[in-house]
Structures are given as structure tokens and as C-alpha cells.
Structure 1
Amino acid sequence: MTIPSNKKIYFASDQHLGLPNHKDSLVREKIFIKWLDTVKQDAEAIFLLGDLFDFWFEYKKVVPKGFIRVLGKLAEIRDSGIPIYFFVGNHDLWMDDYFEKELVIPVYHKPKEYIINNKTFLIGHGDGLGPGDKGYKRMKKVFTNPVSKWLYRWLHPDIGMRLGVYLSTKNKMISGDEDAKFLGEENEWLAQYCKRKLETKHYDYFIFGHRHLPMEIEVGDNSKYINLGDWINHLTYGVFDGDTIELKKHITE
């Protein structure tokens, strides 16, 4: 991928729309849409790194109610010709083909490598990577198992959605969320993951979400781990101008 001189690549993660209730979520949804309206002016591409929704599960003929504003905005941007790439997070890992069929937005379930303007990126949500968190890793294997998803679909959507929202917000082992406190450069487990990846291949940038903390950590020679933060407390995002990437904060009026 090559970026023209007047274009940029944008990255955002962890909007958690639906949390903690419809009223408060709608406020954040409108803020995020204003950001999308701003960046579409010079975006070469937009990467969404998961947990756009606090809970998402696709039945064969049913998707969660709501979120029409953000879905409509993503459709508008995509129809204008701007590519959007979506990486599922731990709260929306049950995505199937709705985004791909309705919005023409590819959905990825694992980190993916990109070369942009001769810079090598490894991009993903970040859940389940690095050392520790064994309980969540085991739970994720259960949740992503095709048999488990097939069985869950036998629940009536009214029951399945209600149960999913409850588990997403109440059970921290299932959600995989960590307290949003900086652990120190040596203890941040995604930074440790990046360093291990560098043992076999060089990456200029590792871009992840999940931690809900905007951070930039040097993990090797000319290699940086960037966490995008969230849209609950920080309203932060990443922007790559073709040469360097920078974390920025969306300013609300």
C-alpha cells in the first residue's frame, strides 16, 4: 500500500458502543461519527481494531439492534471508495459475514501484516497475545469454536443477546478486559509480545488496541508498539502520514 502525499492512514479501536446503556452510548457514537466525518476528508484507508461494539453476535438472519448511525456512516465512507479494514476484538469476536456482505468491509480474526510506504506494520486487536491471561485464552477457544457458536445460535435472539450483553459487561474473565493501568514498559504484555515477534522478523510498527490506554513503547531498534487507547475515556486514535505514526486525541466541541 502506498499513500499519496496528501493522504493519511487512520487507526481507531475500542469504542464499546452499547456500554453502559443506550443513552450514554449514543453520545459516544455521535462523537465517533464526527471523527469519521473529519478523517474521511484525507483518509487513504481506515483501520478499526476491534471492540467497536461492547457485544456483537450474528445469527444467520439477525444482528444486534441499534448502532444504525455508525453502520450508516461506515457504509457511506466505504461507498465513497475509502477502504475500511476491521479486526475483531474480544467483545465482537462473533462477527461472521455481515460487515463483508452489507458494508464491503473485510473482517479479520487475527493480526495481519501490512507494508505501507515501505514501513512494515503488524496490526490487530491484541487480546490473547503475549504471556499470561490463560483463563481468557482458554475461554476464547471455547467461544470461537464453531460448535459453540452453532449451539449458541439455538438460543432465541432475545435471550442470546441479553445473555451476551450480561457476560460482556459483568464477567471480566470472559470479556478479557484488564484494568486500564499502565504496568510499566517491561510488564506490558503486548510490548513483550512485540519483542518476541522481533526475534524472527523486523516490524516498524505494532498497532494494537484492547488495553484502553494510549501508549507508545520502543520495543526494538527502529521498532515501536503503539496502543490506540479507547473512545470511552481517551478519544484517541493513530494517524500515519506515510513516514511516521502519531497518537492524537479527538477534540469535541
Structure 2
Amino acid sequence: MQIPEGKKIYFSSDNHLGAPTMEQSLPREKKFVAWLDHIKHDAAAIFLLGDLFDFWFEYKTVIPKGFTRTLGKLAEISDSGVPIYFFVGNHDLWMRDYFKTELNIEVFHKPKDFTFNNTTFLIGHGDGLGPGDKGYKRMKKVFTNPLSKWLFNWLHPDIGVKLAQYMSVKNKLISGDDDAKFLGEDNEWLVQYCKRKESQQHRDYYVFGHRHLPLEISINDTSKYINLGDWIQYYTYGVFDGNVLELKEFKG
């Protein structure tokens, strides 16, 4: 993708809309929508790197109630011709085709390579990558198993959504911040993942979310790992102007 003159690529992750309650997340949703309004005029593309919602499950004819402001704004921007790409996170991994059919937003379930103005990127949410975290990796296999999804689908939405929201809010990234602390490069699994991928193929930038921490860490002299932070505490996002990727804070 060549970025037109005066345009930029924007990256955002980990809004967790709906947590800990719809009422408490509403100010954060309004702030995110204000950010989308702020960037839509010079955006060449927008990348949403997962956990936009604290819980998302698409039944055949039902989606979770709420998030009208966000979905409407994404539809408006997509309809205007700005491409939007979505990478499912661990809180919205049960996304199916709603974003594609209703909003014309491409949905990815695994990290993917992109090139902008000859600058190479590996982009993804970040959950379950790198060494360690074996408990979560086992849990993810259960959640993504077709039988598990089929069984959950048979729960009435009022029961299924309420149960999932209760379990999701218990996640310590929302109810506490034990995991949202820098652990040092040797203990950051995504750093280790990026180093391993860099040894196999060079990328200029590795862009992920999931950690809820805005981070910029050099993988080597020509490669950098960027974590986008979140829209719970930091309100940070990434912007690539065709030459450099920077983290910024939205204060609007």
C-alpha cells in the first residue's frame, strides 16, 4: 500500500467497550468516537488490533446490544472509502462475518504482514504469542473449538452474553492491573516473539496490542516492537506518516 501525500495510517487497540459496565464504559466509547472523528480526514487506513469490545459473540441473527456510536462511526468511515482492518483479540475472538458484511471491514484472526511505502509491518492483537502463557493457550483452544462455539450458540443470548460479560470483567487486565506492568524485555513474551520472527524475516515494525501498555522497544538497529497501550488508562494510538511510526495520546 502506498500512502497518499498528506495521509497517515492509524492503529488502535484494547478499548474493552462494555467493561466493567455499559454505563461506565460510555465515556470511553465517546472519547474513542471523537478520536475516529479526529483522524478520519487524513486516514489512509485504520487498524483496530482487537479487544474493541470486552465481549463479542455473533449469533446467527443477534449481536450484543450496545456500541451503537462506535459501529455507526466505523460504518460512516468505511462508507467514505477509508479501509478499516480488524484483528480479533482474546475478548472478541468469536467474531464471524458481521464486520465484513455490514461494515465492509476486513477481519483477521492471526498476525499478518503489510507493507506501507516500502516499510514492512507485522500486525496482530498479540494474545497467545511467544513462549509461556500455556494456561491461556490451552483455554484459547477450548474457546475456539467449533464444538465449544456450537454449544455456546445454543444458550439464549440473555444468558450467554450475561455469563460471558461476568467472566470477562473478572479478567485481571480490567479488574486489576497485575499484568499491565512492564516485566523487562527477557520476560515480555511479545518481545521474545518479535525477536524470533525477526530472526526468520526482517520487518521494520512489529505492532501489537493485548498488553495494555504503550511500549516502544528496539528489536535490533533496524526493527522496533510497538505496543499500542489501551483506551482504559492511556488512550494511546499509533500513527505512521509514511516514514516513522509514533505512539501518541488522544486528549480530546
Distance 1:116 1:127, change over 3 A: same
Q: CA deviation at 1:172?
A: 5.2
Note if contact 1:10-1:43 (Cα within 8 Å) is conserved in structure 2.
yes
Is 2:44 the partner of 1:44? yes
Q: Supply the AA of the counterpart residue of 1:183.
A: L
SS in 2 for 1:147: helix
Tell me the residue number matched to 1:141.
141
Give aligned pairs, total. Answer: 250
Note if contact 1:2-1:116 (Cα within 8 Å) is conserved in structure 2.
yes
Q: CA deviation at 1:185?
A: 2.1
- 1:40-92 Cα offsets, whole Å, 9 max, x none, are 01000000000000000111111000000000000000000000000000000
Is 2:85 the partner of 1:78? no
Q: CA deviation at 1:126?
A: 0.1
Inter-partner Cα distance in structure 2 for 1:129 and 1:178:
19
Q: Supply the AA of the counterpart residue of 1:149.
A: K
Q: Supply the AA of the counterpart residue of 1:69.
A: R
Note if contact 2:172-2:179 (Cα within 8 Å) is conserved in structure 1.
no
Inter-partner Cα distance in structure 1 for 2:43 and 2:205:
19
SS in 2 for 1:186: helix
Superposed, 1:203-214 pairs within 5 Å as 203-214=203-214
Q: CA deviation at 1:147?
A: 1.4
Inter-partner Cα distance in structure 1 for 2:24 and 2:167:
19
Task: Point out where structure 2 has 5 or more consecutive residues left out of the alignment.
Answer: none
SS in 1 for 2:187: coil
Tell me the residue number matched to 1:151.
151
Is 2:123 the partner of 1:123? yes
Task: Point out where structure 1 has 5 or more consecutive residues left out of the alignment.
Answer: none
TM-score, scaled relative to structure 2: 0.97
Q: Supply the AA of the counterpart residue of 1:232.
A: I
Is 2:182 the partner of 1:197? no
Q: CA deviation at 1:171?
A: 4.8
Inter-partner Cα distance in structure 2 for 1:111 and 1:200:
15
Inter-partner Cα distance in structure 2 for 1:171 and 1:114:
31
SS in 1 for 2:138: helix
After the TM superposition, list the runs of 4 or more consecutive aligned residues in structure 1 that deviate by more than 2 angstroms.
none
TM-score, scaled relative to structure 1: 0.96
Note if contact 1:178-1:211 (Cα within 8 Å) is conserved in structure 2.
no
**Identity fraction in percent:** 72
Higher mean C-alpha deviation, range 179-188 or range 134-143 = 179-188
